Amino acid sequence: METSSLREEVTSLLQQLIRLDTVNPPGNETQAAELLRDYLEPFGVECGLYARVPERANLVARLRGTGGGPRLLLLSHTDTVLADPAEWTVDPWSGELRDGQVWGRGALDMKGQVAASAVAIASLASEGFEPRGDLIFAATADEEVGDDPDYGLSWLCREHPESVRAEFAVNEGAGDRVVVGGRVFYLCATAEKMSSPFVLRVHGRSGHASLPSIADNALVKAARHIERLAEFAPEPQLIPEVEAFLAAVCGSIPPAGDALAAARKVDPAAAGMIEALLSLTVSPTMITASHKRNVIPALTEVTVDCRLLPGQTQADVEPELRNWLGEGDYEIVWRAGQGGTRSLMDTPLWAAAESFIAEVEPGARVAPICVAGFTDSHWLRDAFGTVAYGFFPVKKMDPDLAARLVHSADERAEVDDLELGVRFLRRAAQTIGAEERS
């Protein structure tokens, strides 16, 4: 397909996807999977629907490789977060095209990349592209919630591993064009922190609220610990991804304790990009105590959103947390963690990103970044050792605006960026498709 055709195809397909309400919960992603299957099959792309329950299907599409090459997975998800029409300028499910932008819930997160991936594999199929290894496109369910029971990529990796097994993958997570110190960088997410929540259980002694001195109020005791958590300042450390980012931006790698200041000296924006990546972070977010106004609580539970650096474990950081909180009648109860994985940076997929950016914007560079949250990439890294990057280049939309629009009102995507994304995904497929399996 010509560039103009790619542009029209991705715009039309995104509009159709937005018009399908796949808010999770309940999801109902099957309608999106069926739309994508109906779009792809006429191009000769092999399609399969995999579903734990009928209404929550995952689409897996494939161009079979000729043999002897690594597989590339274009990964995306079709579910979205909710939208309140009262907050929007347009109907969140209209897919309206206005001033070169497609409006609607999921335009950025991440039906735009869904559409771009589908158009990329369809256009390559129409051209007779024959990769050495399989080119796979997965549009999965249940990324936005992903609890037990799970319906999306985690379920596919467990129950249908051969459908999504791949040596390389391109997913969401980065691709922002940022200007730091007067130079242009496109961020590529090669790692992610681990979401590792815990509950701080503070114990006391109950009593009637009219006689506070006869009780030991667990809620009041918890207040001191909450304040300590808000002030938590662990020793900074440099993970490989931040070292590589600092080398690209600052020209050298400062000591961990000086990293924030060094980045800020180049550009305050650079400091903002790495601040949460220099250590684990803790954020108290929820609290439960007494269920009656006149009963002093004997137990207060504080839920804390904790994010660990790749490679850190709960056992590693608990002593540091306890030392910071000090003595007290409390417990730290960890919940299951997710994420905390990384991929190598010196790979053919990285080379594909670098060559593409050098072509579309000479002088710009690709810089690695670690995602402060986490994505579905960790399921692939854990299950198959996949080299998975979050990279969907966005050149026209300001990254600060995009960050404000994701999960918010008036979400929209630039058609220019959708076309750019299709072109990169095609380049990635052509690069990996030419590789021999190592």
Q: What is the pLDDT along the chain (438 residues), one digit of tens a residue?
A: 666 699 999 999 999 999 999 999 999 999 999 999 999 999 999 999 999 999 999 999 999 999 999 999 999 999 999 999 999 999 999 999 999 999 999 999 999 999 999 999 999 999 999 999 999 999 999 999 988 899 999 999 999 999 999 999 999 999 999 999 999 999 999 999 999 999 999 999 999 999 999 999 999 999 999 999 999 999 999 999 999 999 999 999 999 999 999 999 999 999 999 999 999 999 999 999 999 999 999 999 999 999 999 999 999 999 999 999 999 999 999 999 999 999 999 999 999 999 999 999 999 999 999 999 889 999 999 999 999 999 999 999 999 999 999 999 999 999 999 999 999 999 999 999 999 887
User: 238 and 322 share a domain?
Assistant: yes
DSSP string, 295-350: EE-SEEEEEEEEEEPTT--HHHHHHHHHHHH-S-SEEEEEPPPEE--B--SSSHHH
Kindly state whether residue 146 falls inside one of the protein's structural domains: yes
Neighbours of 251 (CB within 10 A): 10
**CB-CB contact of 25 with 55 (8 Å):** no
Exposure of 293 in the CB half-sphere (CA atoms within 13 A): 0
Give the number of domains in the chain: 2
Structure tokens at 259: 């990293």
User: 10 and 133 share a domain?
Assistant: yes
Residues 210, 211, 214: CA angle, nearest 5 degrees: 150
Distance CA 131, CA 190 (A): 24
Distance CA 117, CA 404 (A): 24
Catalytic residues: 79, 143
Distance CA 170, CA 74 (A): 5
Distance CA 436, CA 244 (A): 27
Identify the domain containing residue 231 by its residue range: 194-339
pLDDT value for 112: 98
DSSP strand E in 84-134: where?
Answer: 97-98, 101-103
**Can you give the C-alpha Rg of the chain in angstroms?**
24
pLDDT value for 2: 62
User: 289 and 253 share a domain?
Assistant: yes
Kindly state whether residue 361 falls inside one of the protein's structural domains: no
Query: One-letter amino acid identity for 154?
Result: S
User: 68 and 202 share a domain?
Assistant: no
Kindly state whether residue 353 falls inside one of the protein's structural domains: no
Distance CA 317, CA 274 (A): 20
No. of helices (H) and no. of strands (E), the chain: 14, 20
User: 198 and 169 share a domain?
Assistant: no
pLDDT value for 148: 86
DSSP string, 3-20: HHHHHHHHHHHHHHHHTS
Kindly state whether residue 326 falls inside one of the protein's structural domains: yes
**CB-CB contact of 133 with 167 (8 Å):** yes
Q: Which of 278, 313, 339 is the last residue of a domain?
A: 339
pLDDT value for 373: 86
Question: What 8-state DSSP symbol labels residue 275?
Answer: G
Kindly state whether residue 327 falls inside one of the protein's structural domains: yes
Crossing angle of the two packed helices 259-266 and 240-250, in degrees rounded to 10: 30
User: 100 and 148 share a domain?
Assistant: yes
pLDDT value for 374: 84
Distance CA 76, CA 156 (A): 13
pLDDT value for 147: 83
User: 167 and 28 share a domain?
Assistant: yes
CATH assignment at residue 245 = 3.30.70.360
Kindly state whether residue 350 falls inside one of the protein's structural domains: no
User: 272 and 393 share a domain?
Assistant: no
Residue linked to tokens 């994985």? 341
**Collapsing DSSP states into helix, strand and coil, what is residue 256?**
helix
